[in-house]
Amino acid sequence: MAFYIAMSQELLVARKQEGAWQVASRLTGLQITSVAADPFHPQRIYCGTYGRGLWRSTDGGEDWQPIGDTPMVPAPFRKQGITEANIIAVAVSTVERIGEYGVIYVGTEPGTLFRSEDGGESWQELTGMRELPSSSTWSFPPKPATNHVCCITPDPVEAGRVFVAIEAGALVYTTDGGKTWIDRVPEGPFDTHTLVMHPDVPGRLYSAAGDGFAEAGKGYNESYDGGQTWQHPDEGLEHQYLRSVAVDPADPDTIIVSASESPQKGHYPFQPESFIYRKTRGQPWQMMTKGLPERGEMILPVLATHSAEPGVFYALNNRGLYRSPDAGQSWQRVELPWSERLAHQSPMALVITKA
CA-based nearest residue to 198, from 160, 155, 229: 155
In this prediction, residue 98 carries a pLDDT of 93
Specify the CATH number for the domain of residue 125. 2.130.10.10
Position 296 in a domain: no
Domain count, the chain: 1
Q: pLDDT tens, 290-343?
A: 999 998 999 999 999 999 999 999 999 999 999 999 999 999 999 999 999 999
Position 24 in a domain: no
Position 105 in a domain: yes
Instruction: Please give the C-alpha separations between residue 165 and each of 120, 162, 249, 322, 348, in angstroms, as whole numbers.
Output: 22, 10, 23, 27, 16
Position 147 in a domain: yes
List the chain pLDDT tens, one digit each, 355 residues.
Answer: 999 999 999 999 999 888 889 999 999 999 999 999 999 999 999 999 999 999 999 999 999 999 987 555 555 555 568 999 999 999 999 999 999 999 999 999 999 999 999 999 999 999 999 999 999 999 999 899 999 999 999 999 999 999 999 999 999 999 999 999 999 999 999 999 999 999 999 999 999 999 999 888 999 999 999 999 999 999 999 999 999 999 999 999 999 999 999 999 999 888 899 999 999 998 999 999 999 999 899 999 999 999 999 999 999 999 999 999 999 999 999 999 999 999 999 999 999 999 7
Position 161 in a domain: yes
pTM of structure: 0.95
In this prediction, residue 74 carries a pLDDT of 57
Instruction: Please give the C-alpha separations between residue 78 and each of 69, 87, 221, 243, in angstroms, as whole numbers.
Output: 6, 16, 39, 35
Evaluate whether 71 touches 81 at the Cβ level (below 8 Å): no
Evaluate whether 300 touches 293 at the Cβ level (below 8 Å): no
Position 40 in a domain: yes
Q: Give the span between the Cα atoms of 213 and 169, in whole angstroms.
A: 14
Q: Give the span between the Cα atoms of 285 and 185, in whole angstroms.
A: 26
Q: Which residues contact 219 (CB under 8 A, 6 or more apart)?
A: 208, 209, 210, 211, 212, 213, 234, 237, 239, 240, 241, 242, 257, 259
Q: What is the DSSP string of 204-217?
A: -EEEEESHHHHSTT
In this prediction, residue 69 carries a pLDDT of 73
Position 13 in a domain: no
Position 257 in a domain: no
Q: Give the span between the Cα atoms of 2 and 274, in whole angstroms.
A: 26
CA-based nearest residue to 125, from 171, 74, 84, 176: 84
The amino acid at residue 175 is: T
Range of the domain at 104: 31-184
In our burial notation (b when 16+ CB lie closer than 10 A, e otherwise), range 36-69 reads: bbbbeeeebbbbbbbebbbbbbbebbeebebbbb
In this prediction, residue 319 carries a pLDDT of 96
